[in-house]
Structure 1
Amino acid sequence: MKISTIKERLPLSEILDHYGLKPKNNMLKCYWHDDKTASLQVNLEKNFYKCHACGKTGDAIQFIEDYEKISKHEAINKAKGFLLNSEAQSQYSVDRGTAKTGQTNPSGEKSVLFLKDNQNNIDVAGGTAKWQAEFLGKMLAYFKNALNSSKPARDYLEKRGLDNAVLEIGYNSGQFHHGERKTEELLKRSLEAGLLLDKGFINNRTKEKAYYVFANKCLIFPLRNKENEIVSIYGRSILDNDKGKHFYLKNRCGIYPNYPNPETKKLILTEAIIDCASLLQIKKIKDNYSLLSCFGANGLNEEILEIIKSLKDLEEIIFCFDQDKAGKEAVEKYSKHLKEHLPSKQISTVELPCKDVNETLQLHNEDIFTELLDNRTFIFSDEVESLDTQLNDKHAVILTKEESLKTNNDQPKTVTDFLSQKDLLKNLNQLIEKAGIIGEENSRLLLFLITISYLNKNPLHGIVQGSSGSGKTHIISRIADMMPQEDVLRFTRITESSLYNWGEFDLFQKIIIIEDLDGLKEDALYALREFISNQVLRSSVTIKDKKGNNKSSHKIVKGQFSSLSATTKGETYEDNMNRSFIVAVNESDEQTEKIISYQNRRNAGEIDRNEQEKAINFIQKIVRNLKHYEVINPYATQIQLPNNVKNKRRLNEMFQAIIKQITIVYQYQREIKNGFLVTEIEDIENAVEILFESIILKIDELDGSLRQFFEKLKKSFKEEQFSRFDAMEVTGFKKTQLQFYLNDLVRLEYLKQIGFANKGFKYKISYNDNIQRVRKDLKEAFTKQLEELKKNKK
């Protein structure tokens, strides 16, 4: 075997796992010098490591050589042994993707319709040695306890919407054969049962036999026989890797969750064990149906078929398979086969709104399954007539799928249906208001679009500007609440060097919320600007080598993130603003009345806080459900920004980015051509409407809050002189903030200062610009271009 082949196929992660090394944030303490803090960085994607202190670097083979202090030749031979054993271990794994193609699985088990040779497995199940059933039962108890001690496993369960308090689930951390539990009997039984596989060599570090662990880092589900004994187990990896996600013991037998009640009348068949577990948690389903899991799309084996045949009172078989091509094809062929064997049984299928049962559970309330089952589709025509008769007897009404998935207030109940609405942005805006942002209709929608861009290759950034106490921090905090919380980082302040000290990928695909941009020093602002412009920070740092000598090193932090920040000062951050969308808080009296009215109704108990939480949770599901696409805008060359806008090049790119973001939100309604979403004219119209105020701010010399302040002065005083106390009365600003604005307007020559300080200055409007005319001209320019686009399309 060539060295290049070993390097290509042997992952560094497996070497680290062999030596019991677990990186935290891709960092380890270096083993080649006295390292008090973790300075050894491992890149598991690119398969190399590097110490930022002593400079030690290399690949998987080099790591073996350095760690065990052996020769290069010995390290290569050892790496070859690791690789061969690793590939032998892959025989444990049965990937559902392979099963759907009808190919032979790595275990040698052929995935065809009703395995005729699988009868041997059933015989094995019936005659499983008593010791093995008892041993697997004890191991399951151990794995269940291990689940309570593992945060990653519990986090994975939470992510998948599974409750181990209700379900029989364990977790294999790969440590059951270590520590105080380790005995010769345990090792012997584990090898016989298949929970361990002898690697065939001695671990140089521990001087003991090395083993591969079956279903390492996997959730564990028991498979049972007719006597309800555990005769095998299934493992589902909690890690995202290409080596396998689904693991079964050799000579798989037994079924999940158990043999159904002999008096079963309605039986639900799921495609996967996790799908079956998802339904087992729902009391209404568990009380009214029996459940069985198949082993993939082509995993309805002979054992399951025999179980179905044995149910004498069975009336109906309900398929709840995945909504992909393989799942639908499997339902079609299995239903025909079952009809031949069981002609008197009704056969139906459930049409899921998402990919599979578990994803549907993650994105919806569990009540949706009751409704989906009530509206299931009967596969054979004579059964449809039978169902009509049953429903008529009960004086029921058959609802269409579209009607059945809507709530009482005529709002779509599923994420997919919501994203398929014609007035999607309008309804999304209303949902954002329910989540707690009152008024600011276009601003809140723009901030939402900016924030959800964090998964794109070129994410967007926004700065909310307003006077002190105007609610700018509230807006960005509420928008952040609507995002998946595992992706949100919130900062009150950022120190000068902190952004340089993150791990290489710690800020990758994240959302950064900066509550007070005014608190950042120039060095921190510079780092933020670099991140926004280049998505990477590169710094030259000084480290000490193992001899204590200073040495220069190169540190990289990648930052593909979207960001929202708040400020009271506009002009101070011009460089940042050139790279970000500017949103001015609406400080009008009308908006103030809206907010006060909402606060009063909330305090009076008229606002349902549960409805607000439901809206936030639903928006989070929407964000998780959106997929990233590259977008083509065929109209990009046919609509132009006005010539008088500042930084037109950068703003044009931002304008096109918002159009693309709107297209992504409409992905369920847009054409996909060669893998690209195609923008419609409607997306450009929406972008113009949402971005209009932000474009005005780019044209206007005054920032948002200063412009609103000046417009109030113009309206109240026109040609009259006024004092700062007069200005305080009509604007409502406090003394310090008001004086700050007056000074700015004098400096920009919009106001003329009259008199002397000892007698109190007077002010007079010296430049009465017509911003309303600018707004009107801009709106007409955009309208004309859009009408031309529609005309040409026809």
Structure 2
Amino acid sequence: MPKAKAICINSVEGGAKRGAQVVSLSKEDVLLKITRFYTQQLQFSEEAKVFLEKRELIIKELVSQFKMGYSTGELNSFLKEDELILGISKEIGLLDSKGTEYFKNHLVIPIYDDEKRVIDLEGLNLETGQKKRLINKDKQIYVFDSIIKEIQTTRDDLKKTVKEKYDLKHIEKKSGKLGITVKVADPKQSRFILDTINLFSEKQRRGLCEQVANMFGQCEADVETELFCLMELIESGKMGLSGDVTEVVITEKEKQAAIIFLSAEKLFDNLLNDLDQLGYIGEEVNKQLGYIAMTSRKTQNPLSLIIMSTSAAGKSTLQKTMFDCCPPEERKHFTRLTPQSLYYLGDESIKHKFLSIEEEEGSNEAGYALKILLSAKSINISTTGSDPNTGERRTNELKTEGPVSVIVSTTKSDVEPELASRALIVTIDESKEQTLKIMGSQRESRTLEGRRQQKKKEEIKKKHHTIQRLLRSDLSIINNLSDSITFPDDRLKYRRGHEQYLNLIDAVAFFRQYQKEIKNETEFGDYIEIDQDDISIAEKLFKTVLQWYGEDLKPTSKHLLTDIQAYCTKNKVHVFSRKQLRDTFKWEQTSLHRHLRVLSDLDYIRLKIGQNGVKHLYELLIE
């Protein structure tokens, strides 16, 4: 690039002033000056910080390694006293005739030649994700892509090193403190360091840095980078105690089998077949909803499931089957939750996890916290306690991060409305036909073939653990067909129902990601698009759930009403007793009593005669 004519300027860093020394200034010098200005602007731009943090990119790293900057649109003001530099900036296209910046609201990175001179600038628009060059505008290969890939590779290598090098023995998370007991061993010298420190304390961190650096012959800056990475891994829940989670190793054979399963055209048919072999017979819609809800824990808007049925109907089978299909490191089972228990689980301990709660009654005490966790995706509480060092009272904040997917069962006919509105509700098939299927399966499990099948169950569970691990949680889900989706709108509760429906469509698309093209946008990263098949599958599944949003009469109560109408029509009567219904339709007394009360409250029937010691008679009030 030819040299520009000599201009008046103190230095490349300073501005031109009258009477200053005349020096030769090139376009490369101007580009270097602008690069330094943009680098300074990046430090103070909240918009750029949010954009980079969302992608786990560290500003300090980008500036030191790649001289990245940001254009806020203030370049014209910065150069207003440097008329000749201002002229060169306009000449090369950095500014137009009105002073508007070419890279306004762009991240900017310099392009160097073999002599380390800045010969071009490349910008990335934060809003559109589009990239462009200043000088070589026709260039189609951009350095932004290679830089991000290089940073991610370096960070992955660093995380691997930290996980291998630092052996955590104890973790204590409190407000303002991240206490750890850590063992750092050097196998070559048979030496190790065992120390307890607060990672949030600069003084204690520096002390550990010195010890590790001396033992491994590293510089302290590199060790400090490792400790910051360790802190990040602990806070994100990706690294725990050495005995917490065994490193999962997926063989190439297991990986290929899982990919074939996920890529199959008959994905949902194969899923139903696997769940049948696990011993969950019938109820195809419930099985698919349960599995999709469990899978959705890896998305940004997970689904939760409430299973309603009478005692011994089989709700625990659905719950256990879905729990068994989830990888052990991504699931937690609770038989009971106390009022404060969810707050003490830790910042990241249940984030994107699948929570199984034995009975809805077991979560009653923690009901408020659970509802907030499902809707707000995080909960926090302030508690008071004594400072262990000074003895003074102080306030501590406890926080638990979501989102989570929850599956809970209940024998109640009515679920607490606030909890019910945050989950999909399904009922267990209590028909005679389903009972015969279950009993047949139970008898078959005692046969020789049944014993062989029991061994195969463990292989199926392990296969689904691999399937779940291979699903990419970093994919964004884009629905460009949302305008074609229809939903009832005549009830207020449909507002939340519609959101659940859209989340179900997203979850189906997420499960089918291996059947889709992975696209990329700088703003969103990798993403997949929802297609018509996703919507059709979700619509079919959601029809069984929709009645819980739009109808006062729930499925089991509606089934009883149908039986009553059939009995009255056949016998040409309008009055009936509980015993007649039990004898004719084999209803359990407890379930029958509960649903008769529901029908009475909704004026489908009325109690005509009934008190202690007197036969109860009911009258059907509708045809």
Q: Does 1:672 align with 2:523?
A: no
Q: Does 1:549 align with 2:404?
A: no
Q: Does 1:654 align with 2:470?
A: no
- Determine the C-alpha separation between the residues in 2 that align with 1:492 and 1:530: 20
- Determine the C-alpha separation between the residues in 2 that align with 1:736 and 1:635: 47
RMSD (CA atoms):
3.9
Q: 1:715 corresponds to which residue? A: 566
Q: 2:100 corresponds to which residue? A: none
CA contact (8 A) 1:532 1:579 kept: yes
Shift of 1:515: 1.4
Q: Report SS of the residue matched to 2:313.
A: coil
Shift of 1:686: 0.8
Q: 2:551 aligns with which of 690, 700, 712?
A: 700
| Pair 1:40–1:431, CA change in 2 (3 A) | same
CA contact (8 A) 1:632 1:679 kept: yes
Q: 2:422 corresponds to which residue? A: 579
Q: 1:456 aligns with which of 299, 324, 331?
A: 299
Spell out structure 1 runs of 4+ moving beyond 6 A.
6-9, 77-84
Q: 2:366 corresponds to which residue? A: 524
CA contact (8 A) 1:507 1:561 kept: yes
Q: 2:82 corresponds to which residue? A: none
Q: 1:85 corresponds to which residue? A: 219
- Determine the C-alpha separation between the residues in 1 that align with 2:417 and 2:298: 26
CA contact (8 A) 1:530 1:536 kept: yes
- Determine the C-alpha separation between the residues in 2 that align with 1:89 and 1:548: 35
Give the alignment's TM-score, normalised by structure 1: 0.49
Q: Amino acid of the residue matched to residue 479 of structure 1?
A: M
Q: 2:170 corresponds to which residue? A: 24
Q: 2:609 aligns with which of 752, 755, 759?
A: 755
CA contact (8 A) 1:518 1:567 kept: yes
Q: Report SS of the residue matched to 2:429.
A: coil
Q: Amino acid of the residue matched to residue 471 of structure 2?
A: L
> Which string of whole-angstrom CA distances, capped at 9 and with x for unpartnered residues, describes residues 151-178 of structure 1?
9489646x22xxxxxxxxxxxxxxxxxx
| Pair 1:680–1:493, CA change in 2 (3 A) | same
Shift of 1:27: 4.0
Q: 1:728 aligns with which of 565, 582, 589?
A: 582
Q: Report SS of the residue matched to 1:24.
A: strand
| Pair 1:62–1:88, CA change in 2 (3 A) | closer
Shift of 1:581: 0.5
Q: Report SS of the residue matched to 1:493.
A: coil
- Determine the C-alpha separation between the residues in 1 that align with 2:220 and 2:204: 17
Q: Report SS of the residue matched to 1:761.
A: strand
- Determine the C-alpha separation between the residues in 2 that align with 1:456 and 1:79: 38
- Determine the C-alpha separation between the residues in 2 that align with 1:659 and 1:703: 24
Q: Percent identity?
A: 22
- Determine the C-alpha separation between the residues in 1 that align with 2:199 and 2:469: 37
Shift of 1:446: 0.7
Q: Amino acid of the residue matched to residue 610 of structure 1?
A: K
Shift of 1:88: 6.7
Q: 1:616 corresponds to which residue? A: 461
Q: 2:484 aligns with which of 638, 642, 654?
A: 638
Q: Report SS of the residue matched to 1:613.
A: helix
Q: 1:492 corresponds to which residue? A: 335
Aligned length: 428
Shift of 1:60: 4.8
| Pair 1:570–1:7, CA change in 2 (3 A) | same
* 1:323-334 map, 5 Å: none
CA contact (8 A) 1:728 1:734 kept: yes
| Pair 1:362–1:740, CA change in 2 (3 A) | same
- Determine the C-alpha separation between the residues in 1 that align with 2:203 and 2:221: 21
| Pair 1:526–1:754, CA change in 2 (3 A) | same
CA contact (8 A) 2:380 2:398 kept: yes
Q: Amino acid of the residue matched to residue 85 of structure 1?
A: C
| Pair 1:423–1:58, CA change in 2 (3 A) | closer
| Pair 1:23–1:508, CA change in 2 (3 A) | farther
Q: 1:373 corresponds to which residue? A: none
Q: 1:41 aligns with which of 154, 174, 178?
A: 178
Q: 1:447 aligns with which of 290, 293, 303?
A: 290
Q: 1:471 corresponds to which residue? A: 314
Q: 1:61 corresponds to which residue? A: 202
| Pair 1:466–1:646, CA change in 2 (3 A) | farther
CA contact (8 A) 2:254 2:463 kept: no
CA contact (8 A) 2:170 2:180 kept: no
- Determine the C-alpha separation between the residues in 1 that align with 2:620 and 2:255: 56
Give the alignment's TM-score, normalised by structure 2: 0.61
- Determine the C-alpha separation between the residues in 2 that align with 1:566 and 1:510: 18
CA contact (8 A) 1:493 1:515 kept: yes
Q: Report SS of the residue matched to 1:565.
A: strand
| Pair 1:520–1:61, CA change in 2 (3 A) | closer
- Determine the C-alpha separation between the residues in 1 that align with 2:421 and 2:319: 19
Deviating more after overlay: 691-700 vs 637-646: 637-646
Q: 1:481 corresponds to which residue? A: 324
| Pair 1:526–1:731, CA change in 2 (3 A) | farther
CA contact (8 A) 1:480 1:513 kept: yes
CA contact (8 A) 2:199 2:205 kept: no
CA contact (8 A) 1:712 1:730 kept: no
CA contact (8 A) 1:514 1:565 kept: yes
| Pair 1:593–1:586, CA change in 2 (3 A) | same
Q: Report SS of the residue matched to 2:425.
A: strand
| Pair 1:57–1:612, CA change in 2 (3 A) | closer
> Which string of whole-angstrom CA distances, capped at 9 and with x for unpartnered residues, describes residues 694-739 of structure 1?
1123222123333333333333334531111122223433323322
For structure 1, list consecutive stretches of 5 or more residues without a partner in the other structure: 29-37, 45-55, 69-74, 93-150, 161-357, 365-413, 769-794
Higher relative contact order (CA 8 A, sep 6+): 2
CA contact (8 A) 2:304 2:406 kept: yes
Q: 2:255 corresponds to which residue? A: 363
- Determine the C-alpha separation between the residues in 1 that align with 2:565 and 2:412: 22
Q: 2:146 corresponds to which residue? A: none
| Pair 1:79–1:421, CA change in 2 (3 A) | closer
Q: Report SS of the residue matched to 1:760.
A: strand
| Pair 1:666–1:640, CA change in 2 (3 A) | same
| Pair 1:437–1:643, CA change in 2 (3 A) | same
Q: Amino acid of the residue matched to residue 747 of structure 1?
A: D
Q: Amino acid of the residue matched to residue 612 of structure 1?
A: K
CA contact (8 A) 2:347 2:399 kept: yes
CA contact (8 A) 1:464 1:566 kept: yes
- Determine the C-alpha separation between the residues in 2 that align with 1:153 and 1:493: 25
Q: Report SS of the residue matched to 1:539.
A: strand
- Determine the C-alpha separation between the residues in 2 that align with 1:465 and 1:740: 13
Shift of 1:527: 0.9
> Which string of whole-angstrom CA distances, capped at 9 and with x for unpartnered residues, describes residues 541-593 of structure 1?
01112343332222111122111000112423211110001111111122111
Deviating more after overlay: 502-511 vs 724-733: 724-733
CA contact (8 A) 1:454 1:510 kept: yes
| Pair 1:646–1:423, CA change in 2 (3 A) | farther
CA contact (8 A) 2:351 2:404 kept: yes
Q: 1:688 corresponds to which residue? A: 539
> Which string of whole-angstrom CA distances, capped at 9 and with x for unpartnered residues, describes residues 26-67 of structure 1?
449xxxxxxxxx9943599xxxxxxxxxxx9984524358x8
- Determine the C-alpha separation between the residues in 1 that align with 2:589 and 2:211: 76
For structure 2, list consecutive stretches of 5 or more residues without a partner in the other structure: 1-42, 44-57, 62-154, 182-196, 227-240, 521-525
Q: 2:79 corresponds to which residue? A: none
Shift of 1:690: 1.4
- Determine the C-alpha separation between the residues in 1 that align with 2:459 and 2:341: 36
Q: Report SS of the residue matched to 2:458.
A: helix
